[in-house]
Structure 1
Amino acid sequence: MTNAIEVKDLRKEFKAYSSRKGLKGAFRDLFTRNYKIVPAVNDINFSVRQGEMVGYIGENGAGKSTTIKMLTGILTPTSGEISVNSMNPHKEREKFVQTIGVVFGQRSQLWWDIAVQESFRLLKKVYKVSDADYNSHMGHVIKTLDIEPLLDKPVRKLSLGQRMRCELAAALIHNPPLLFLDEPTIGLDVLVKLKIREFLKEINEKYNTTILLTTHDLSDIEALCDRVIMLDEGKIIYDGALHQLKEKWGEGKELQFQFLDPVHVNSLVAITGSLPVKWEVDEKEQIFVASIEDSDVLVSQVIARVVSSFKIKDIKMKEISTEEIIRNIYEKGLA
């Protein structure tokens, strides 16, 4: 399978200016400026296969958007090599943009004062899409995203959720093989997010569309991506399967028990003594919590022993969320 994106030793540096103190310092700044070179993206390497859906994540300022802007040809790298759809985004600009779709959550590609369908028609002309291709493909997109009632409205009259669905449709007018999504669900309600996620899954399955997704909403990543690339201070600190990230840094599970009759925690310790279990009790709510490793066999053994000895009112299983795992990684490191 061919790679849609190949990045080698990619680096982007910016000049960061600092002002001197006081009136004298301000006067000196008129003639000479103090600055330092800051690497926003620091010699990163990765590739994305055709048809893959990859989550590109990191804290604010980690370099996510800078990477996307270099991959889409908006920014020129300081050094390194980029190949996207077997082209250099900067040197083959006109040909290259025909093969990608881009959605920036905080920027619009639709014209503010004209109807949505007029923006679509203008983009159709820009991308040189035939009437037949437009009608067959966009008919499906418009129906799936439920934006038909919005087509004759000016963009400025749309809510955020309505506009983002139209932005996504606009990015897909030419049915590109590669889609870049930078915070596409920012500020959206749950129902709109679900609709966009289902649509992205559908186009990935139907057209084998490659999707690179950056977002702070990790539920988007969990719903769509099997692989994540994690960035910190311009460097890649993790590139691999999402489930492996959970398995390695998930820090186990919690089993929460409530009983019909009064139970003492010592009794629970006694029946699970041979297993690696740590028991805690919430005296007020009478909830007994067993902290264990993330092992299906161990979970089954603990539940079996407790259920065979006590009358159960309720059992809940809680595992550490992806958001908690990633927060722990940023706070404590990968060690």
Structure 2
Amino acid sequence: MKRNVLKVSTVCVLAALAFPTWAQSPAAAWPTQTVRLVVAYPAGGGVDVFARATAQSLAAIWKKPVVVENRPGANTLIGAEAVARATDGHTLLITTDSTHTVNPHLYSKLPYDATKDFVPITMMVSFDQMLVATPKLPANNLAELIKLAKAEPNKYSYASFGSGSQPHLATEMLKRKAGIEILHVPYRGLPQALNAVMSGEIALTWSGIASIQQQLDTNLLKPIAQAGNHRLPEYPNVPTFAELGYPEVDANVWVGLFAPAAMPAAVAAKIHEDVKTVLNTPDFKASHVTARGFEVRALGGKAFSDAIAAQLTSRAELVRLSGAKVE
């Protein structure tokens, strides 16, 4: 009898060890250790700054440290793969829409399955990007840029954050619709792209307003046109691509929070509610959302999953039309 009891106990212990701690703990007890928040973009960019502010607020709610780890590169593949393979139950991913809605159309083989390897937790915020130029470019608006590019094909270049990133897709669409040729130069992230443009090494790039407002106000960059349906209140004289006759040029970005697929639904729901609380806290919203030109989305659960599925379908056509390819 004792031998049978010992065998049963051993089996139970081994079974417990075979599952990550998050599968054993109720949602209310999560987190039980430091949370690692992987950001698929370089330090210093708009997504990173927003992620760090979010991490600080979540740490206050969870009473556990939330450590931000930047894993940029390869159009977010590096950061996404790191989270897809995580098994500690306390690793999360902050990335943008490209990871789940563009990369599957660009790569014949991904190091992760965009649908099966992640749990979508929260679509946090979204924002439209602005096409900006080096002050050295002899064009001050979209019409002048198109005229210049047509006169001298491939003389000018634009910086993206990698093949399939929003700047890449948007500029390739502009090239197709306007009938111009501008060289594509991929960079590791926004800070590197902006530095290249400000120095005059590259003519053009894209950015959310929060990351470039100081540079615009000090004439280190000049605005060309704004994506989206509305002009920015801060720059009412900068027209949108839509009103200039190029509605297909879309550079809207959302920032989302994901977990590895093994995360229980109850824990994911808890995290979503906590993130939603942070996003709608007046001080946080004023300082880290509105002030950065972002819009709170706070979509979770099925609503977020459905939005990803719809965009995954629509962006297949966008990638095809833009001609974007992995380099």
TM-score grouping bracket, smaller chain normalisation: under 0.3
Pick the structure with more helix per residue. Answer: 2
- TM-score, with normalisation over the residues of structure 1? 0.24
Q: Which has the higher contact order (CA 8 A, sep 6+)?
A: 2
Pick the structure with more strand per residue. Answer: 1
